[in-house]
Amino acid sequence: MGTNNGILSLVVDPTLRPEVDRIAAAAGVRVVHAGEPSSRKVWAAASAVVLDVAGARRCAELGLPRRDRVLVIGDVEPMAEHWKIAISVGAQRVLRLPADDAELVSELSEAAEAGGDAGRRGAVLAVIGGCGGAGATVFATALAHAAPRAVLVDVDPWSGGIDLTVGSERDPGLRWPDLALGGGRITHSALAAALPSRHGVAVLSSGQTGHEIDAGALAAVIDGACRGSATVICDLPRRATSAVGTALDAADLVVLVVPADTRSCAASASIGQWLAEINPNVGLVVRGPAPGGLRSTDVARITGLPLLAAMRPQPGLAADLDNDGMRPRSRSPLMSGARRVLEVLHRQPGTTDELAA
């Protein structure tokens, strides 16, 4: 669901939804109705968010971050309880319809005008292996090469550093231990200038220090790169940390990389269930070879997840990784698989049903 420069309506009361449509039409803005935000990125990207009391209560329970232009509406005079809920979700106004129609038209018009000059936000992918040695880091690197402009982010402090895969381990630039952002903000241009870059890919690596990654700093990196229209690819470990939760919550698409064998499928099924509980936009990339003849459709059936891409083995990959890092050729299995995943991403799926289509 794309809401950039549009209005996100999280109105539960069915009698108020037509009122929102009517006022949005008067303001000349686009409105998207939803039961709740599919991700924090959707919440943050909308020009304005309109909620009723039930919708505001749900958003407060989700712990969504504070943002500008959050408006609570109702058809009765606001009571103390309504104001308390509105404050808990960071609302700037509580409006009663139809008495405050003109004020809501003005708020939505101003929001659309303010958002109209903003550039398109970049997308976020989270890549994780279904088992040890699945090849998730390699595939995350292929995605970064396939995207027009990318920031490749290492979220595994015990991986030895994703720069070893890229080949930038000796290049100057900041790694996670050097980056002290806390909950602050950073621009994409500042990131690109500070990080090592190989073949047009900016790389934020854990390095080889085992430095635990701060979730607030990760959120700032993702937000800054997205505001600069870059595609962010997060390479995740198979364990639940606050940083992993931040990446999964921000992701437009979660990619689970699974080798085509029975033991890997069994391990991946439980991980896929955990991922889908956090972010419903999860899909499979199945990596060959298949020594037992297991097909990619069989892997999708066993794991219960939609298939994004299936890949043959990548010739010469081990030698590339041991020498100067990975730079896959355009027609290689890795790049073909990465392009297929990016094609799905650019369709902006909102549910796993759409991923399977």
pLDDT score for 5: 55
Q: Is 7-116 CATH 3.40.50.2300? A: yes
pTM to 2 decimal places? 0.67
Q: Is the pLDDT of residue 154 over 50?
A: yes
- What is the rounded average pLDDT of the residues 186-201? 84
With bands split at pLDDT 50, 70 and 90, how would you rate the model's confidence at 238?
A: very high
pLDDT score for 341: 96
With bands split at pLDDT 50, 70 and 90, how would you rate the model's confidence at 352?
A: very low
Neighbour-count burial for 242-280, b at 16+ CB within 10 Å, e otherwise: ebbebbbbbbbbbbbbbbbbeebbebbbebbeebbebbb
- Residue 282 bridge partners (DSSP): 254
- The highest-level CATH class for domain 124-356 is alpha beta
- What is the rounded average pLDDT of the residues 117-126? 76
pLDDT score for 182: 54
pLDDT score for 350: 39
pLDDT score for 336: 94
Average pLDDT for the chain: 85
- Residue 354 or residue 182, greater confidence: 182
Pick from 15-24, 135-144, 222-231, 278-287: least confident = 222-231
| Same-fold call for 7-116 versus 124-356 | yes
Q: Is the pLDDT of residue 349 over 50?
A: no
- What is the rounded average pLDDT of the residues 237-247? 94
Measured CA to CA, the distance from residue 296 to residue 59 in angstroms comes to 38
The 10s digit of each residue's pLDDT in 72-87 is 999 998 888 888 888 8
Neighbours of 79 (CB within 10 A): 10
Q: Give domain limits for the chain.
A: 7-116, 124-356
